[in-house]
Structure 1
Amino acid sequence: MSLPVLVVLVVFGIALSVAAVHFAGGTTTATLATADQALACFAEDFPDEKPGRVRLTADRHAAFLELGPQRCGIVQAIGDCFLTRIVTPRDVLALAREGTAVSLRMDDFTWKGGRFAFANEADALAVAAALQGQDQIRKAA
């Protein structure tokens, strides 16, 4: 078989494989339909925790769960799976709140944080307060 024909077959095969994965749903991001789903995902990894209120992000790709003073549970969609964490203020390298959004940068090489937009400012403020003292929250301009 000539080299040009082999190259065309390989390129076509790779493109076909990528298209098959995409159309089979391999590039979709999971969403949290309800607060109960977030609680169930969190309970799988942390069965001894008793979360309080659940605050879903506006896009429903993440949820923040109250775990008591200065502790917060996080459930976030990563691809078609969910990542769960318990976060305290000492885990947070940087936190900024701007209106209904909270930006986090974490001291964890496996999860660096992100920007999370909520449906209302009260949820953003509550999440920020749980992860950092109320007087230390920097409101971004």
Structure 2
Amino acid sequence: MSLPILVAIVTFGIALSVAAVHFTGGSKIATLSSANRAVSRFAEDFPDEIATVVRLTADARTAFLDIGRGRVGIVHSIGDCFLTRIVMFRDVAALAADDANTVSFRLADFTWKGGRFRFASAADAQGLLEALEPQHSNFAGEAA
């Protein structure tokens, strides 16, 4: 078999494989349709946690849930699945407000580094900043 024919067959096979993955839903991006959906998804992994406030990003791919005691629950879409985490201020390596509606943070956790999150309202962005900032606490080991 000549080299050009082999290259054409391999290229066609790769293109066919990529198309099959795309058309069977492999490139679908999961979104959170509502705050209730975010709470429900978080409860699947952390059934004992109660969310008091839910902040959805403008693209509906991430939700931040206030769960008390200085902790924030996160539901973030990765592909067609959701990643859930509970973080505290001491898990945050860097935190910044990029503008009134956007918050960036980096986590010390190597499995998910964080990111840049844009909210529909400045109040949601400010609420997340306040939830992730170091706070003074009466609990030993949690004081800033």
TM-score (norm 1): 0.90
CA offset digits 1:22-62 (Å, max 9, x no partner)? 23321121100011111111011111111111110011000
Name 1:125's counterpart in structure 2: 126
Higher mean C-alpha displacement, 109-118 vs 3-12: 3-12
User: Any stretches of 5+ residues in structure 1 without a counterpart?
Assistant: 135-141
Letter in 1 for 2:104: S
1:42 & 1:74 partners in 2: Cα distance? 8
**Contact kept? 2:90, 2:134, Cα under 8 Å:** no
Name 1:102's counterpart in structure 2: 103
1:89 & 1:47 partners in 2: Cα distance? 22
1:90 aligns with 2:90: yes
- State the number of aligned residues: 135
TM-score (norm 2): 0.88
1:6 & 1:96 partners in 2: Cα distance? 52
Moved over 2 A (4+): 1-4
Percent identical residues: 63
Q: What is the correspondence of 1:1-141 to structure 2 with a 5 Å cutoff?
A: 1-97=1-97, 98-133=99-134
Q: What SS is found at the alignment partner of 1:59?
A: coil
**Contact kept? 1:103, 1:114, Cα under 8 Å:** yes
2:117 & 2:43 partners in 1: Cα distance? 22
2:27 & 2:34 partners in 1: Cα distance? 22
CA offset digits 1:56-93 (Å, max 9, x no partner)? 00110000001114210000000000000001000000
Name 2:140's counterpart in structure 1: none
Q: What SS is found at the alignment partner of 2:13?
A: helix
User: Any stretches of 5+ residues in structure 2 without a counterpart?
Assistant: 136-144
Whose RCO is larger (CA < 8 A, sep 6+)?
1
